[in-house]
Amino acid sequence: MRRNDSSSMTPPDAPVAPTPRPSRLPPHGGTLIRNVRRLDPSSGSDSIGDVAFRDGVIVDAAGGDFAEVIDGSGHWLLPGVVDLCARTREPGATQKGTMRSETHAALAAGITAICLPPDTRPVIDSTAMVNRVNRIAKAAAGTYVHMLGALTKGLDGEALAEISALKAAGCVGVSNGLTPMASALVARRALEYAASLGMTVHVVPLDAALANNGCAHEGAVATRLGLAPIPVAAEAVAMRQWISLVEDTGARIHFGRLSSARGVELLASAKRRGLPVTADVAAHQLFLSEHDLEGFNAMAHVLPPLRARADRDALRAAVGSGLIDAICSDHQPHEVDAKTNPLPLTEPGISAVDTLLPLSLRLVHDGLLSPLALAERLSAASSRILGLPAASLAPGAKADLCLVDPTNDWRLTPATINSVGRNTPFIGERFEGRAVRVWRG
């Protein structure tokens, strides 16, 4: 969905560090940010300078007076974050969140666009549903909302959806979510159909038979706690099958939410052979492991599951090298009751838009990513995967911007979470860095 209006959002709680102070100039319109560290992944530029925008478009900073002038000293400016997977829970489960609540929470956290999976209720498998979601998103007036259409009707894994109609309606890709395909034959036909239309197929690689309704990584923690296991093979087997089908069809596949070292190895092999594959990882997979389930911590119940520390380290290394293209939130807000049953009966997922940028900034502070690489993983790569215009700070680009204070020291509490969902294992943790101003279009 595209809009021409403009908005700016600041997180509601007062940050510890001071935000940039605007100075007053004659109201000729537009905003000028002075002396800011410009992180432009489209040009590979990391420099100190000025950035200006007017009427939703970046303009020459020397082009006249501006209504607002911001001192960006000590701050970073990057294209707005594009989140490859975020569920708003509307339509279908508004007790967990709404389009308005979740897109505004995302915007406050520096995210200017989200990609909605097709597993809404009803499923996004028709032009009518695409139009319905667009209407809801337009009324919400938060982030831009892009959609993945269903690969099969009703996500049943059997009959192919009308992918051509979904593309014409504006879907940026297709996916079957976490629902398995009925057979490899159906999967191959789906890839052939998508390839003929130039559509990317988004896959969460998890073999349903091997996962067997488990809730934890197959390892020492699951054994000790008596939790049903999900082996790494569930990811590896699914990836091998899809990669084999890519070899036959030439279709583009994006592997979402990788969780294992073996998955990283398969991705590396496919890329070395020049196959058209990309991948992302959820931010929480880069910091948590199976040990965070100790004490039957339902807040760490996610799918795919948190795996061994060696898997986490392999994912971090792959993000650092660029093998894994992008970092996403995999945002799944829940009501309190969804996380209060015995762990196997709780619903998987983390409310994560509030922590996507702060967790990613930890990778910079840890020395794993440069600030420019951060902008690449959060903005540029995600935009390319979705087929969106390049994330850029150049004049003429859309003014989807995120101003970051990288030294802002703050603590995540239920009161500082903007999402309706409070289901996160990061409650109580301190973060260094956050978005302090966000502009969308």
Q: What CATH number is given to the structural domain containing 62?
A: 2.30.40.10
In tens, the pLDDT along 18-74 reads 444 443 333 458 999 999 999 999 999 999 999 999 999 999 999 788 999 999 999
> 67 with 111, same domain?
no
- Find all residues with CB under 8 Å of 152, minimum gap 6, and list them: 125, 158, 159, 160, 161, 176, 179, 181, 186, 190
- Report the chain's mean pLDDT, rounded to a whole number: 94
pTM reported for the whole predicted model: 0.93
β-pair partners for 54: 57
Amino acid in position 132: R
Give the rounded percent of residues in the chain with a pLDDT score beyond 70.
94
For 144-159, what is the mean pLDDT?
98
Domain for residue 424, yes or no?
Answer: yes
How high is the pLDDT of residue 441? 84
In tens, the pLDDT along 280-330 reads 999 999 999 999 999 999 999 999 999 999 999 999 999 999 999 999 999
> 189 with 56, same domain?
no
For 251-274, what is the mean pLDDT?
98
> 54 with 113, same domain?
no
> 263 with 317, same domain?
yes
Higher pLDDT among residues 14 and 417, named by residue: 417
> 256 with 119, same domain?
yes
Tokens 């594009």 correspond to: 82
> 368 with 236, same domain?
yes
Domain for residue 62, yes or no?
Answer: yes
Domain for residue 1, yes or no?
Answer: no
User: Tell me, what CATH number does 135's domain have?
Assistant: 3.20.20.140
> 230 with 373, same domain?
yes
The phi, psi pair for 221, rounded to 5°, reads -65, -45
How high is the pLDDT of residue 8? 52
In this predicted structure, the answer to whether residue 3 has a pLDDT above a threshold of 90 is no
In this predicted structure, the answer to whether residue 6 has a pLDDT above a threshold of 60 is no
CA distance 141 to 130: 17
CA distance 221 to 228: 11
CA distance 380 to 374: 9
Higher pLDDT among residues 304 and 7, named by residue: 304
For 124-137, what is the mean pLDDT?
98
> 411 with 287, same domain?
no
The phi, psi pair for 91, rounded to 5°, reads -80, 155
Boundary residue ending a domain (346, 368, 386): 386
For 187-208, what is the mean pLDDT?
98
> 185 with 332, same domain?
yes
Domain for residue 253, yes or no?
Answer: yes
Domain for residue 18, yes or no?
Answer: yes
How high is the pLDDT of residue 231? 98
How high is the pLDDT of residue 18? 42
Q: What confidence category does residue 378 fall into, taking pLDDT thresholds of 50, 70 and 90?
A: very high
Domain for residue 409, yes or no?
Answer: yes
Domain for residue 11, yes or no?
Answer: yes
How high is the pLDDT of residue 28? 52
In this predicted structure, the answer to whether residue 4 has a pLDDT above a threshold of 50 is no
What positions carry a catalytic annotation?
330
> 382 with 403, same domain?
no
For 88-106, what is the mean pLDDT?
98
How high is the pLDDT of residue 11? 45
CA distance 137 to 167: 18
> How many separate domains does the chain show?
2
* DSSP-derived pairing of the beta strands 81-83 and 111-116: parallel
How high is the pLDDT of residue 26? 39
In this predicted structure, the answer to whether residue 418 has a pLDDT above a threshold of 50 is yes
> 31 with 159, same domain?
no
- Write out the residue range of the structural domain in which residue 239 sits: 80-386
> 430 with 284, same domain?
no
